[in-house]
Structure 1
């Protein structure tokens, strides 16, 4: 039987993947900011409890993201 020779793979560096992920995160943050600016204002006559619920859900999810960032960066509140 012939032996199959394999190439030694080059070790992958995390920097490019991290940089790409970091840029995607920044793009998402800009998108979130734009969408928040488009949301109803508190003095809008069409404001309903469903809008309050949506804002509360957004805040809950962003709080989880903030906690993950704190944990990743070693920050304690």
Structure 2
């Protein structure tokens, strides 16, 4: 019976995956910025409380993201 030979596993390097994830983050930030620029303006007569609620939810989530980035970078406010 022939002995099965296996290759030694190559160590996984995170560099390429990190660079890809970093670029995705930057693309998402650019998209968010463009969408924020398109949001209803404060002087628009169609402005409603639902717009403010949505913006407050966005700010809460962005605040969580900012805190995670700070934590990842070991930053302290």
Tell me the TM-score range normalised by the shorter chain: over 0.9
Whole-Å separation in 1 of the counterparts to 2:76 and 2:2: 58
CA drift at 1:33: 0.4
1:18 equivalent in alignment to 2:1: no
Q: Which runs of 4+ in 1 moved over 2 A?
A: 1-4
Structure 2, gaps ≥5 residues long: none
Deviations 1:3-41 (A, max 9, x none): 422111211111111000000000000000000000000
Q: Which has the higher contact order (CA 8 A, sep 6+)?
A: 2
Deviations 1:20-75 (A, max 9, x none): 00000000000000000000000100001110000000000000000001101111
Match of 2:44 in 1: 44
Match of 1:72 in 2: 72
Whole-Å separation in 2 of the counterparts to 1:72 and 1:31: 22
TM-score (normalizing by structure 1): 0.94
Aligned residue-pair number? 77
